[in-house]
Amino acid sequence: MLFTERKQWIYDQANCALHDVEIALTIHAEYVKMYSPNPPPVFFEVDRSSRKFDHLWHVPLTDRTVFSRQITDLPAILQKERPDWRLTKIGLVPQQKWKVWLANLHLQKVNWFPNRGDLMYFDGYRHMIVNVVLEPNAFWQQTGVWLGLIVETVIPADGDALPLLNPGVAAPAERVQTRPLPEV
């Protein structure tokens, strides 16, 4: 989604013209740029104009994910969290979560607002954006202007990249592997 078309966290643009708000936005953007990894992560915006897009799970329903654009020069601070261990049908599986800190000015510069379902590629792994969160201390004074936001991502497990077309049929990895009985 374009930054100018975002629906959440709208603020008065006249507040951004205030001198102290401009300084706060600039300082925050420089801070994020200074502590961003080199090279920064690459973000992929999923094309939502396709008719084959699931608006509930925010994933495409085609065989391949179609991206509307690739965002390469977006500084971000990455924070890796402890894995969340879940018991699934295939055993105990870790779910690796990350928090990605993005600055308001950088998002305006690339004209992008992250959405659930968009992807991030960093350090050899693809991350799926799960949530976009504004921390309570991200707002500058009482202006309502937010300095930056947190994007929560998850490294999806293998096989979770595409949704199941027919939930009644088990995936090949979940099928019971049986061998024929030896004849006696």
Side chain identity at 62, as an amino acid letter? T
- Report CA torsion sign: 106, 30, 145, 20: negative
- Nearest alpha carbon to residue 41 among 94, 95, 117, 98: 98
pLDDT on residue 158: 58
- Is 60 in a helix, a strand, or coil? strand
Residue 60 β-bridge partners: 53
pLDDT on residue 174: 52
- Nearest alpha carbon to residue 133 among 114, 120, 118, 119: 114
CB 118 within 8 A of CB 152: no
pLDDT on residue 36: 94
Give the list of residues 6+ apart from residue 25 with CB closer than 8 angstroms, or none. Answer: 16, 103, 104, 105, 140, 145, 147
Rounded Cα–Cα distance for residues 46 and 167 (Å): 24
Rounded Cα–Cα distance for residues 21 and 75 (Å): 20
Residue 15 β-bridge partners: none
- Report CA torsion sign: 108, 113, 118, 122: positive
pLDDT profile of the chain (184 residues), mean per 10: 67 72 90 93 82 64 71 92 82 85 92 88 87 86 85 75 51 54 63
pLDDT on residue 160: 45
Q: Taking the domains of the chain in order of start, what are their residue ranges? A: 3-158
